[in-house]
Structure 1
């Protein structure tokens, strides 16, 4: 997606105080030591008391305060999640909008699995480019992975799940977000490509049931992935994913006016999956396209559901990983499958 002009981003992430270290998880029998080494995480944030929409509200308040934007000026509140949000047959996005005072915004929920936060930023950018009267858009994500429905260490291969929320305010650069406040980052381009032929990875041999959790009492993505591998083989996934990853990286860099070896491109940020999964599926096609330093920001957070890319934007915004004028490419993917890359620079 080529932008008419760079968009302003203010990005924050909220993490609970509770944590489970990998040593504690191994000692408790939550994960085998060999699997823990392959994942490469040091700890996972754990929210026992705060529900995901309330986590999103906390992150949203932070983003609004930092940007100086007024909640009543928001045109969209886009909320993405992977797991249960705290109630059934109910709209978490409307709850978040009400809690932050975004009374004029249209709340929209996104079910894009682990790429939901990234797609939210793309939809926000499209709204701002397509409607000159639209106010800023807020993209939130929040997920919490608790038993008995989700085993944060063992419900899936290649990742462990941490509890977190993110908020990214998307606005026009130089727009009236607040009294003289500069944005954290400038968004220069986005690219998204899908691989719908991979949706079966999260469905396996299962039929479509009539009630939630009808296939098993705990979400078990390992079971569906085993069925996928038996039917299609690992190489089918790796080749398909590599094709889409190279495609989104090339497209995002070109739309931002950068080459893969451009000295302005400081980092190429990868998703917050396990180290082995990153080495096998994401890093090879990424490094085919760019020589930028690969940056892994997820060792102390785990995979944060729909918010990996957005959490990495928050890290880029709130630290000195980037200097003013330097760029980063942030890559993400989510079940379905959909892959997104964005290019940002530090203000």
Structure 2
């Protein structure tokens, strides 16, 4: 999406629980074999005691405080997630808004699987430009992957799942009509999709009447095996490579940059396992941008819907971007959908 003008990102926050399960502990406990743990490359995965919406509240408080925004000034709250939030037939975003004191916000849920956080930023950006009077949008994500319903180390190929939450405030900038200073500047957010790949997370399974009616755990390996058994690897590799190249080129073009522009300092991969990033992301991203490739997540794992926002939080916390220096943050999710967020230092 080409933005009519850049937007500000303030208070980008990553909230992680204090408890960790190291790769060595997981191997010793029989949760994952040593070879797979090595390919994943995670030093540890965070393990939460709080429910995901409670974590989102913690991240939201940090973001609003850091941004200096009164919760009452939030007009839109978007919450994204991929896994169970703690109650059936219930609205997590309304819980987050209530607990934060964002009584004037319209709470909306975004379920675009692992690309949900990036999708929420894109939706919030759209609303800021078309809705008069909307000054602050809060985007939160939160996920937890506990036993017995989810095997965080071995339930998927090439990905380990960590618990945590993110939040950020999206708003107009001072130079674009009454906005406020920002921590990062959002110049473009672009998304492409390949719906023909949806079966990778459905496989041959029949439609069930309720969650986990086919088994006691979420089993992503089962559905991927069925997809790959029918020749899906070639289709996935082709579609993934083409979509990733398209979304990167389009995002840079919409911001008026080329891949050779020196201000693009970093390109940030999703928080997938090391081998997955090496095979599927590193070659095209390095080829297309020439920027330094960042591989975040060794100490977080894949954060469900929160990968992109977590990387924005770390770029800001580590002061990695000066004014006019750019980073391209890449996000991906089942379906399949790929997004890029182009940001700079403020």
Q: Distance in 2 between matches of 1:68 and 1:126?
A: 23
**Number of the residue aligned with 2:195:** 196
TM-score, scaled relative to structure 1: 0.97
Q: Distance in 1 between matches of 2:251 and 2:179?
A: 26
Alignment partner of 1:77 is 2:77: yes
**Number of the residue aligned with 1:184:** 183
**Number of the residue aligned with 2:248:** 249
**Number of the residue aligned with 1:68:** 68
Q: CA offsets per residue over residues 7-31 of structure 1, 9 Å max, x none?
A: 0002111000000111111111111
**Number of the residue aligned with 1:146:** 146
**Number of the residue aligned with 2:237:** 238
SS at match of 1:83: coil
Q: Distance in 2 between matches of 1:132 and 1:265?
A: 33
Alpha-carbon shift at residue 176 of structure 1 (Å): 6.2
Alpha-carbon shift at residue 232 of structure 1 (Å): 2.6
Structure 1 gap ranges (5+): none
Verify the 8 A CA contact 1:138 1:168 in the aligned structure 2: yes
Verify the 8 A CA contact 1:82 1:306 in the aligned structure 2: yes
Structure 2 gap ranges (5+): none
Alpha-carbon shift at residue 273 of structure 1 (Å): 0.3
**Number of the residue aligned with 2:38:** 37
Q: Distance in 1 between matches of 2:125 and 2:246?
A: 20
Alpha-carbon shift at residue 234 of structure 1 (Å): 1.4
Q: CA offsets per residue over residues 206-265 of structure 1, 9 Å max, x none?
A: 111111111111000000000000113312111101111111100111111111121100
Verify the 8 A CA contact 2:74 2:138 in the aligned structure 1: yes
Verify the 8 A CA contact 2:75 2:137 in the aligned structure 1: yes
**Number of the residue aligned with 2:335:** 336
Alignment partner of 1:320 is 2:311: no
RMSD: 1.2
Alpha-carbon shift at residue 74 of structure 1 (Å): 1.3
Alpha-carbon shift at residue 73 of structure 1 (Å): 1.7
SS at match of 2:237: helix
TM-score, scaled relative to structure 2: 0.97
Q: Distance in 1 between matches of 2:100 and 2:115?
A: 24
**Number of the residue aligned with 2:287:** 288
**Number of the residue aligned with 1:268:** 267
Alignment partner of 1:15 is 2:11: no
Verify the 8 A CA contact 1:246 1:288 in the aligned structure 2: no
Q: Distance in 2 between matches of 1:264 and 1:251?
A: 17
Q: Distance in 2 between matches of 1:344 and 1:132?
A: 24
Q: Distance in 1 between matches of 2:329 and 2:238?
A: 21
Runs of 4+ aligned structure 1 residues displaced above 6 Å come to 175-178
Alpha-carbon shift at residue 321 of structure 1 (Å): 2.0
Alpha-carbon shift at residue 132 of structure 1 (Å): 3.0
SS at match of 2:95: helix
SS at match of 1:138: strand
Alignment partner of 1:172 is 2:167: no
**Number of the residue aligned with 2:309:** 310
- Between stretches 118-127 and 64-73, larger displacement belongs to 64-73
Alpha-carbon shift at residue 283 of structure 1 (Å): 2.0
Verify the 8 A CA contact 2:286 2:292 in the aligned structure 1: no
Q: Distance in 1 between matches of 2:280 and 2:224?
A: 15
Alpha-carbon shift at residue 177 of structure 1 (Å): 6.9
Q: CA offsets per residue over residues 293-315 of structure 1, 9 Å max, x none?
A: 11011111100000000100000
